[in-house]
Structure 1
Amino acid sequence: MSKVKIPAAALLLLLSIGAAPLTASAPLSASAASVASVTTPAVNNNVIKVQNINVKTIFDGISMVPPSGQLVFIHNNTTYVPLRFMSYALQKSVAWDAKNLKVTVNEPSSSELVVIKEYLMNVTNNKDTFVSKSVTLSDVKANFVFNGKAKTLPKSQSSYLVNGTLYVPLRFLSESVGNEISWDQKTMTITAKSKDYVEHIKEEQMNGGNTAGNIGPEPSPTASSSPTGGSSATGKVSYEEITSATESKLNSLKSQSKSTLFNTAMEYLAAQDDASKASVIAKGKQQLASFTSSFNSIVSDAEQQLKANGYSTDIINQYRSAFESEIQNGLNAVAGMAD
């Protein structure tokens, strides 16, 4: 029985490759196990019910929606937001120590940044519509460390757990993480900017882009001005436009490859003899080579555009590094099947 299950599982590992640099199989921060693992003694038994609010969130000029099931709410005149969603949107890593009820937010490593990028791609594509609901809060006495410095919530505020997601006050997060985060009560909009994004806008301004005295609300990505402050009239494509278009193509390629490789896995499971299985394995390798070629074409085009517009190409190295690592994992899995 094991001879059947192990090779099949190995072939299914190919599904995680997907020819995209960001894999759905990657954990949302390996050290950050589900916050739901908080033990009962850490949770206050007082029942607190609140109503979620319909909030628009804009990060680095791009509208995002929290993952399904997450929300924003106001309690005691304080706006609360999901910690991981907000931190990832600001391109910060999040680690959760369930034993010590400790949350650590830091600058991400290169591997963590790949995970964060996938998370952001998913929430950017999230089309969930707002549904008003009443939720029950569980008070969690968590400890916080931001960029190596311990931070304490104001005495009148707390952190709360809702369906496995930790929520913190928006202003506390803004001040602790060191990023620009604003709340517009009138329009119910949270606007946040990562440090890289702010620096990029400054560079654009110095190079003749938007020369306004301050960095105001970003326009929609579909507006005539780019989200980085550069105008379409200048003929220069913004960094966000290039990378967003690239990641959209890679996401599409990922979906296509997962579907194709899944069908190949099913063929392998249905194969009745060694010759048939060998044929399916060879087919899988050919498909993998085809997806690799498509990936290289997409990122090469993106690299050329970034260079042509004077932008850093570091993101290309991140794409390639993550992709090559997963390709090797997939090839090792296929090689193991032939043993």
Structure 2
Amino acid sequence: MKLRKWAMGLLAAGLLTAGLSAGSPREAYAESKQIEVSFSPVHFIFGGEELDPPEGQRAFLYKDSTYVPLRFASYALGKAVDWDPDTYTVTVREPKAEEKVSIDAYIEERKAGDRPILPVDASALQPITIDAYFEKVNYVFGKRTVQPPAELPGIIIDGSLYVPLRFVSESAGNKLEWDGETYAITGVSTAEGAKPYDEIVLEAEQAFQELVSGFTSEFYVLKSEYDGADDAGREEVLLQGARKLLEGQETFRSEILETLKAKLKAGNYYEGAVDQLAAQFEDKKQGVINLVTLFTGKDLTPYLEKAEKELEGK
């Protein structure tokens, strides 16, 4: 259904309340529906201090994920957050000096003080039904555009944007620890003086793109050789292409992926970017194989197997 003007006004006001600088929101479509959530006594521990979300903006569990107000999540991680109402884009980034002062003041106000963290009786948590809007929001962390899992989107409730805490934390490079007995979530501090997470990931992604671009160009050269060769020559060109693809794979794994893994580990960062980049490489590799089939009508897989045996024999 088309989002009514009163709802859009409420959204803009709520996003302002959440610490996002919103102007006049664009016309948009949002799906309004009732969802079941559980308001549970979740404890948020960052920098050794327990923090509470703002009054009236309680955290809740939805599909077994902890949702919190966006600004609370960002500030708890020491990040600044911007809102672009024209594109519905949230940007989470490193704060400027003056912004850090405001973030520190916000954190000071949110400190819960010294109180016991006790086991939670999960059986006593009763789900309740609330009204929520599901609006398409773009999320940028540093210079990287990411999205939460499709089944765990951002949710607008009473005009405020709530997001899965784990999505925000891991997208910013921070690890979380969950205590299922006490419902305590602890943010793991990064190594002091560590290189910014965003820079580490971007460097790896750039090296990956350069590698892919390089061996893709080589495959186009091989295509020309393949077109001009006889049957025997074509067999050799296909085998040569398989060797180059395996060489690229080895370079990716031993240099790019291992370097990324080592830098993330040294910074005590969340290491999910390693698996994500590995999956991207496998997609590109399959794309090259499909391209060879398209150009030649031949499956490259048997040639890859033969090239692998050659490498094993060395």
In the superposition, the TM-score normalised over structure 1's length comes to: 0.44
Answer 1 or 2: higher relative contact order, Cα 8 Å, separation at least 6. 1
TM-score, structure 2 normalization? 0.48
Whichever of the two has the greater Rg, that structure is: 2
